[in-house]
Structure formats: C-alpha cells, structure tokens
C-alpha cells in the first residue's frame, strides 16, 4: 500500500536537527535523515536514515527520487544550506535560492559586489591578492580584520593592528579558503554587533528577531570570541527598520521566495548600520533562544516553508519581533588546549536560576583541541528570564564561576565578561537596592 504521508528529507543528523525531526513527525510526515555522520542523534527519531555525505549531490538526488521525497529541509550551517540547494535543484524539488545567486551568499568578494549594487552599507574593505596585500593596506584604517575569501564560520579570521601584521598573516589566512591566493581585509568596526533573522514569505521579508552579539577580547586570542547572544536586542527599535529594508533588497536579488535570510551587522548612533555578512540559513547554536524569548519556533518556520506557505505567512504576520514576552541568552564558554582533569566547577556554574539548557562538550580525561573539526565550545548554556537585569545577573554569576581544571590545577577556561553597559546597569541596580528606605 502506498504511503500517503508527505515525505521529507532532512539534510543533517546532529543534535540541532533532533527536534526538527520530531516536529515533522508530529505533523504526520514520513521523515528521512541523511548526512555523513553515521551516529547522528537525530537519526533515532527518523523513519529511515542514510549515511551519505552532504556533498554527494548525485547520490542524494537519487535518494530523493527513489524515496519519492516531497521536500528537502536543512539549515544551521553554510555547508548544509549550499549543498541542500544543490541537491534540491538536482532532484527537481523546491530550493530556497537559485544556483546562480548561491555564491553571492558565500563568497565575500561577490557579496560585497552585491552590497554595492543594492546600496547596502558595509565596513570599508577590499579583496587583495597575496602579492598586493601591502598596497591594499595603504587605503585602510587599522586595526583591520583579515579573513579568507570564502571559508566558513570564523576559521582563519583574525584582527591585525598594523600593515606588517596583515602582510605576515595573509598566507596562512588564505589557506583556509578554496581560493588560496587572496584574502579579505576589512576595517575593524567597534560598533554594537547583531544577529538578525528574517524570513521571506511570497517574496516579502518579515522580521523574526534581532539579537545582541556580545564578545570578549583576550590578549592571547587572534579575534575576540563570542561569549553571549541576547534575544531580543536592547537596540531592536533603533536598528530594525533599516536592517529589514536591506534584507528585502537582498532577498529580491537572490530570488528567495520562501525561507530565511540571516544577517550579521554592526551599528552605532553616529555611523548607522554596516552589514558584515548575510546567509540563507538560520544561525546555529542559538536558534533555540528565539523560542525561549518569543514562543516562535524555528522548526515550525522551516516546516511551514517546506509544507504550507499560507501557514508560514500567517505565522509570520502574527509575530512581533519588537515585542517579546521574555528575554533569553546563550552563554558560550571556550577553553585553551589541554587535558581536562576536573569539571566540578564547570558543572556547578552551569546550574542555577534562569538556566533552561546546559551542555558540556568535554568529559574528564579528554583533551581540548581548538582545531578545525573539533568541538565548537567547551560548554554552552541557554538562559531565560523576564528582564534583562535578571538575565545579566545570572550571566555574570556563571561567567565568574565557570572554570575547567587541567592536571596541574590551572584553569583552561577562557575568560568571559559582560559588556561594560551591562555591568554598569548591574552596578546601578545593586546601588539602588542598597539605598536605605526613607
């Protein structure tokens, strides 16, 4: 007997896909999971799973035909977004982005060309061949960020404070790229930094969230690390209208009718918005924060995009990115290379008020290795509260108490700090509480 259920192929089996698989099954779908991770946790919830590398377009397209797949869903990483587009086109399934525009959402040089064409402001930058880095530095104000032309995430990205540092770093940075003969040089923007999720429905962009992307700088790091992401941003009202207008231009250029467009950008009252990057997938390791803050689920948006465009439109129209009932944040703990001897303090720090989820990426006796293919963090925690003050207090406590001991008793944990504005707010609140009541 022919199965009358809609068949979905979810490209990705790691932990972030487990809830997506479960919610797809709750909607009555037959769910297939495929990627190269044989023991991915999302496989346990699927009707069937297949161990096929996401880069094997032909094999995955054949799977779609053999299994009568109705729609393909993926997200949370640039690789999955790109390969998912290629597989969908090869299999004749709906795809979020046309193949001829896909590189504009990945290649830094093409992305900046798109921004120029659309009038989207971005930090002063250039793409320089390795033999022209010195000349390129003459037109830039330091410090700068130097990064690969088309690598994923923050691999190879570092801050350079002089032209000499840029020249010295260029070759090793370029090696992270598929095109190892050029690098991107970009003036360092010290404005507030944001992650924004928007979603297209019938070609119209809707705001889903603006989040504060907070970093901590350490003297021994090449680049300040992300230490906290806060939903919704304290500056949502100041930035949303302009950022949304830029997102609409990009969606129209890329031909995205239904699906996410996410943006990282900087803003300050004096210079306005400078867009850093855009992508056609949802941010990984933080999308859960949207549901804690607003009740809106990224999983539901992804499923509506694949299964029911009218439901997607209704859900987006009912959502208000400017007014969320709760505040939430993700805390991201990093560690230096070394052997983990004790996690007692880390485990204690990850408990307490406001904590909704917490995850340690290492066990005692394991070795921390900050290299490509390693763990993304030492630990992460998701918090939710009714106010920013409550969230800040809980975050500060966890930052101060988190540590990982190596066999010599030294702390492997990289320090995290709240931004100065949050610390000042905490101090003001504490002072007010200490004032005598007249």
Distance CA 349, CA 326 (A): 22
Whether residue 428 is predicted with pLDDT greater than 80 in this model: the reply is no
The answer on pLDDT for 26 being more than 60 is: yes
Handedness of CA 386, 387, 393, 399 (dihedral sign): positive
Domains 102-107+190-325 and 328-419 share a fold: no
Q: What is the pLDDT of residues 95-143, one digit of tens each?
A: 988 899 999 998 888 999 999 999 999 999 888 999 999 999 999 999 9
User: CA triplet 414, 400, 380: central angle to 5 degrees?
Assistant: 60
Strands 125-129 and 182-187: antiparallel
Query: Side by side, which strands form the sheet with 125-129?
Result: 125-129, 182-187, 144-148, 158-160
241, 272 contact by CB (below 8 A): no
Compute the average pLDDT of residues 223-247.
96
Residue 248 pLDDT grade (very low, low, confident, very high; cuts 50, 70, 90): very high
- Give, rounded to a whole angstrom, the gap between the first and last alpha carbons of the chain: 79
Q: Which residues pair with 191 in a beta bridge?
A: none
% pLDDT > 90, the chain: 77
User: Tell me: the pLDDT tens digits for 394-403?
Assistant: 999 999 999 9
- Residues in contact with 423: Cβ distance below 8 Å, sequence separation at least 6, in sequence order: 396, 417
Phi/psi at 395 (5° precision): -65, -45
pTM score of the predicted model: 0.89
Rounding to the nearest 10 degrees, give the CA dihedral for residues 308, 312, 318, 323: 150
What average pLDDT does the chain have?
91
Please give the structure tokens belonging to residue 262: 């996410």
Residue 374: what pLDDT? 79
- Domain at 328-419, CATH from 1.10.3470, 1.10.287, 3.90.1170, 3.30.110: 3.90.1170
Residue 298, helix vs strand vs coil: helix
Lowest pLDDT segment from 179-193, 257-271, 277-291, 422-436: 422-436
Where are the domains positioned within the chain?
7-91, 102-107+190-325, 124-187, 328-419
- Identify the DSSP state of 36: S
pLDDT, average across residues 325-339: 97
Angle between helices 388-401 and 420-434 (to 10 degrees): 110
pLDDT surpasses 50 at 346: yes
Q: Could you tell me the two tokens for 11?
A: 């490209």
CB 62 within 8 A of CB 69: no
Q: Residue 437 — pLDDT band, cuts 50, 70, 90?
A: very low
Asked whether the beta carbons of 123 and 95 are under 8 A apart, the reply is: no
Residues 87 and 71: beta-carbon distance below 8 Å: no
102-107+190-325: CATH topology: D-amino Acid Aminotransferase; Chain A, domain 1 (3.30.470)
Query: Is the peptide bond preceding residue 143 cis, with omega within 30 degrees of 0?
Result: yes
Alpha helices in 67-162 (DSSP H): 78-91, 99-102, 108-118, 133-137
* Torsions phi, psi for 425 (to 5 deg): -65, -40
Query: What is the C-alpha to C-alpha distance for residues 109 and 384, in angstroms, rounded to an integer?
Result: 38
Rounded CA-CA distance 220/334 in Å is 13
Q: Please check the confidence at residue 426 and state whether its pLDDT lies above 60.
A: no
Confidence of residue 434 (pLDDT cuts 50, 70, 90): very low
pLDDT, tens only, 351-370: 989 999 999 999 999 999 98
* Nearest residue to 265 (alpha-carbon basis) of 128, 121, 129, 149: 121
**Is residue 312 pLDDT above 90, yes or no?**
yes
Q: Are 98 and 121 in contact (CB under 8 A)?
A: no
Contact 268, 229 (CB under 8 A): no
> Counting every residue, how long is the chain?
438
pLDDT at residue 221 tops 90 = no
Considering the segment(s) 7-91 as one domain, its CATH architecture is 3-Layer(aba) Sandwich (3.40)
Q: CATH for 124-187, among 2.40.50.140, 3.40.50.1100, 3.40.50.300, 3.30.1490.20?
A: 3.30.1490.20
**pLDDT > 70 fraction of the chain, expressed in percent and rounded:** 92
Q: Are 31 and 10 in contact (CB under 8 A)?
A: yes
Two structure tokens written together for 264 = 């990282």
Give the residue-averaged pLDDT of 243-251.
98
């Amino acid at each position: 007997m022919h199965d009358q259920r809609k068949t979905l192929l979810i490209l990705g089996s790691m932990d972030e896909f487990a809830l997506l698989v479960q919610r797809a099954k709750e909607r009555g779908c037959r769910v297939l999971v495929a990627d190269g991770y044989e023991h991915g946790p999302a496989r346990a919830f699927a009707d069937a799973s297949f161990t096929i590398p996401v880069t094997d377009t032909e094999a995955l397209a054949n799977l779609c035909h053999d299994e009568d797949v109705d729609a393909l869903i993926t997200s949370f990483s640039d690789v999955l977004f790109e390969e998912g587009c290629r597989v969908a086109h090869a299999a004749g399934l709906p795809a979020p982005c046309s193949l001829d525009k896909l590189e504009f959402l990945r290649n830094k040089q093409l992305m900046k060309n798109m921004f120029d064409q659309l009038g989207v402001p971005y930090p002063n930058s250039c793409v320089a061949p390795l033999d022209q880095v010195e000349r390129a530095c003459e037109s830039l104000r330091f410090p700068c960020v130097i990064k690969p032309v088309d690598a994923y995430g923050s691999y190879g990205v570092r801050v350079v404070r002089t032209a000499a540092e840029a020249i010295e770093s260029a070759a090793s940075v370029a090696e992270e790229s598929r095109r190892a003969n050029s690098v991107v040089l970009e003036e360092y923007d010290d404005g507030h930094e944001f992650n924004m999720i928007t979603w297209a429905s019938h070609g119209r962009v809707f705001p889903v969230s603006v989040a504060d992307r907070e970093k901590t700088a350490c003297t021994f790091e090449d680049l300040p690390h992300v230490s906290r992401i806060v939903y919704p941003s304290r500056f949502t009202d100041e930035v949303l209208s302009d950022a949304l207008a830029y997102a609409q231009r990009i969606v129209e250029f890329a031909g995205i009718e239904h699906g996410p467009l996410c943006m990282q950008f900087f803003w300050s009252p004096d210079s306005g918005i400078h867009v850093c990057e855009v992508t056609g997938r949802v941010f990984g390791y933080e999308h859960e924060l949207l549901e804690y803050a607003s009740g809106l689920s990224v999983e539901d948006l992804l499923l509506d995009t694949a299964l029911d465009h009218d439901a997607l439109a209704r859900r987006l129209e009912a959502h208000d990115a400017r007014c969320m009932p709760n505040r939430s944040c993700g805390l991201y703990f990093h560690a230096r290379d070394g052997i983990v001897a004790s996690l007692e303090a880390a485990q204690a720090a990850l408990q307490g008020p406001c904590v909704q989820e917490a995850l340690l990426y290492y066990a005692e006796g394991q070795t921390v290795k900050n290299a490509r293919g390693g763990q993304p963090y030492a630990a992460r925690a998701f918090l939710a509260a009714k106010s920013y003050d409550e969230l800040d207090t809980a975050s500060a406590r966890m930052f101060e108490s988190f540590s990982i001991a190596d066999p010599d008793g030294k702390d492997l944990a990289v320090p995290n700090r709240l931004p100065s504005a949050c610390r000042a707010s905490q101090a003001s609140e504490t002072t007010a509480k200490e004032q005598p009541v007249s």
